[in-house]
Chains A and B, each alone.
Chain A
């Protein structure tokens, strides 16, 4: 069983590929966010064109053994449009940076989406009835002779084909000078945070005209700037606790109970630097690209360029686990710097039971690590080399030239194909990830 010391090796099968399978990809179609909702029934993706596509898991086949429901398009809508800030002469891209679902509060679903500057709250709701019956016109819109109206008619709701509507409910704008990199909903169900490079703001979901600044690391003199905020998240259970990661590789935990402005962190998670390994790239590769609390709230995972680190919230001095994602790239940092890949921001995610973690890599590879300290597997998101219901074949990346069938040389890796955005079904063995313009969904093989 899961969490049982990893005696059983899990196998993953390709379930679905979404998006056009075509070499000619338009910029707008590149997926920039992937997120399951809290039940896993819905899966949202955002792209650089500002669109959000929501997939819904089929209910029927859930009962069938050895197969989980497939995800089908449920709703597609334009969340953000390109804008222009005339005061600063800046173009504001429509690219969706993050999507976060709100815990479900009624039959409708709600999500927050953000681009660089503006956060929006969307309601996704179903409608299966529509009113019928007019007094002064026919159903097709032709007007009746008003003198023919001798009795009043009250419209009646009649069943119709299911329609899914996405409607914008709130727009939270004008609170960020820098680019928003994270949004996170609080467990109190009424507030959320939004973080940009230098500040973190706290919003009440019901109010768009005010937010509270809870962290501000902007130095008085911008020339003294040495560190920026790269990711931030609320604790899943404690409404007063949040963390933010920085470009220097540290993570600060703040307690909102202690003070209104959380400039003073209550915990600082930082691994002492190994002076012997210091290089020009040390700081760049230690930058935290994602931070995620475990579902239990006990642990926190950070992703930097080469590793995943798991921290126990009770121990600040060093991570309790470290996983090498693609250590073989350490010798290639120079060329990765030149082609800007070194600045890629990889996300990471926890399995539903916190027993495994996953993150992306290059060449459409993704890495899965069991928490038992094993080396982890490298799998590939590829529709060409996998067939449905067949377990994915693990890859090995090696430096040498002698190759076995399941090996690939570092020099053969394709750095333009990378998996940055990943999400794990909150209750089940289903994972979703974006490769350029395709969404891949994999399922754990059921025995």
Chain B
């Protein structure tokens, strides 16, 4: 019977008797079982084409049974299959037949690979919406039950993600069964399943009636939050956020807070870490009153935790926590409760903690205002700016703009500058490199005037650093500064200094001039390049060091696009031709490259000497 109904769907991908149009589909179908994974994957990704050619009936009766049995395949193939099946409803005949997709997805939901299972669950969730209420109870819900009571924990973990999509659309009897299944999975023997249930607890709570949230969910939440495995307990913290959002304020104290307090003081640092990590969400979920009474002391404890990972996570939240404090008491709470802890963190023994704090501490200045910032925060910034760990200092420097807005640049610069200079001259070149990368940002924050006065000389000093990576970064930095401050500024401040280095006795510094010109010519524009830079480059073609000379050839090629054609013909070309006849083979080579790259009419030039390459 299947053979007779291969007449293809209305889109006409393949005619019933047209061999030509069947051929590509036949190839795709055959490659579903090719030995090469890539070809199988390719076929699976074109599954809709195959289904379209087979028509809805053969897709249901032949293709889907075949796919249901292919769960032996490689993960990437199964992943693609799980994804495809989520978009297959129309290809099996529309919502009326959508349940035909359940068997292959059910078998995919039991494989060991988490990504495949998750994708299968995602597709199942997607097609659940395409089931009619009747089909949902007749086909979908039984599948959820089968998975939930499966022998292997892979199927039970998959079930956890499906309860919330069917619950709202089934009868109250079935609802009761679903709640029972969820309860069972929350106390499953396998920690994997309890973790899956815990991670879906919040989502499930959202679709439950409030009475069941209070009766069922709270007891499950309490149980999971005191599970013997800390990997389960920490997931309950996440559920805490969703549950707290669902409950009326007056119930939070009795139903949620005891568990949350317990989690914040859990014996396992991983659970406390989770509390610290989710602190802003928790704070929003429980509201201002509980925040004031409970979360402030909890937060203080997390900032003083014995495990550095926890302190770092809490330190990361300092700004957000303070921002979200109720306005009426914000300043008092920060000044009396939070700031003392923050002060201690500034001299923490762990650099990750200090670094986490440094990345947010500047944000407190906008909350506390000018006077408090100068009196209380500035000393902390300065302490962190002098920290032995460069990452801490860099985090401070990269967030200067918010302090700038509050207290102004003059105030800041006096204290800031020494720290920057110190970093700029750090003995470790990687530290110098990092501060160079912040220069354009700093320049933008501090303005051109301050920059010229204080930082310009630093930027120029890097050009003659003894480490190449620093000289290279310094060159790149100049380009970014010119983009910020404009060509005129460049002409007045940096171009003369760069060009001055062309006469340096050290050939490396002379080369730096060329590298800078390469980088700057475009940003500076034609006039400056032609008038000021080009003459220097041309003059350097007479340098006694061959490396300089072939870099001249490279530079001429590089800045060519900025110059006009007259200048190219009259000034650049003769010099390149001279270099192309240089006695040094490299100079010769790069000069010829430059000539060829610019497409000069150069019949008189000898062909490149191939043998050069073999030397």
Contacts and interface: CB of A to CB of B under 8 A. Distances in A.
Interface string A146-184: 110111111111000000010000000000000000000
A131 B62 CA distance: 12
Contact of B228 (A123, A146, A190, A238): A238
A190 B229 contact: no
B231 A190 contact: yes
Interface stretch (A133-141, A332-340, A369-377): A133-141
Given A106-B112, A110-B112, A136-B27, A155 B54 contact: no
A125 interface: yes
B600 interface: no
B245 to A, nearest CB: 28
Contact of B26 (A129, A152, A157, A190): A152
B307 A134 contact: no
B265 to A, nearest CB: 12
B27 A257 contact: no
Nearest to A154: B62
A104 B192 CA distance: 12
Interface in B48-70: 53-54, 58, 62-63, 65-66, 69-70
Contacts of A256: 268, 270
A143 to B, nearest CB: 10
A125 B113 CA distance: 14
B30 A136 contact: yes
A150 B22 contact: yes
B39 to A, nearest CB: 13
A225 interface: no
Interface of A: 103-108, 110, 123, 125, 127, 129, 131, 134-137, 146-147, 149-157, 165, 187-190, 206, 237-240, 256-260
Contact of B66 (A104, A136, A155): A155
Interface residues of B, number: 49
Most buried by A among B6, B26, B110, B195: B26
Contacts of A107: 152
Contacts of A240: 230, 268
B109 to A, nearest CB: 10
Given A129-B69, A147-B19, A154-B63, A260 B269 contact: yes
Given A125-B72, A129-B69, A190-B195, 7 more contacts: A131-B69, A136-B26, A149-B22, A151-B6, A151-B22, A206-B114, A260-B309
B557 interface: no
A187 B191 contact: yes
B544 to A, nearest CB: 41
B33 A131 contact: yes
A190 B196 CA distance: 12
Most buried by B among A105, A110, A137: A105
Contacts of B72: 125, 127, 165
B267 interface: yes
Given A110-B112, A137-B30, A257 B191 contact: no
B259 interface: no
11 contacts: A131-B66, A131-B70, A134-B30, A150-B19, A152-B25, A165-B72, A189-B191, A239-B231, A256-B270, A257-B270, A259-B269
A188 B229 contact: yes
A216 B321 CA distance: 35
Most buried by B among A108, A135, A156, A190: A135
A295 B263 CA distance: 30
Contacts of B6: 151-152
B229 A239 contact: yes
A301 B25 CA distance: 63
Nearest to B63: A154
B316 interface: no
Given A105-B192, A106-B112, A134-B30, A152 B54 contact: yes
B606 interface: no
Interface string B539-574: 000000000000000000000000000000000000
B367 to A, nearest CB: 31
Interface in B281-324: 306-309
A165 B74 CA distance: 13
Given A105-B112, A105-B154, A257-B270, A190 B29 contact: no
A151 B153 contact: no
Contacts of A157: 65-66, 69
Contacts of A238: 228
Contacts of B195: 190
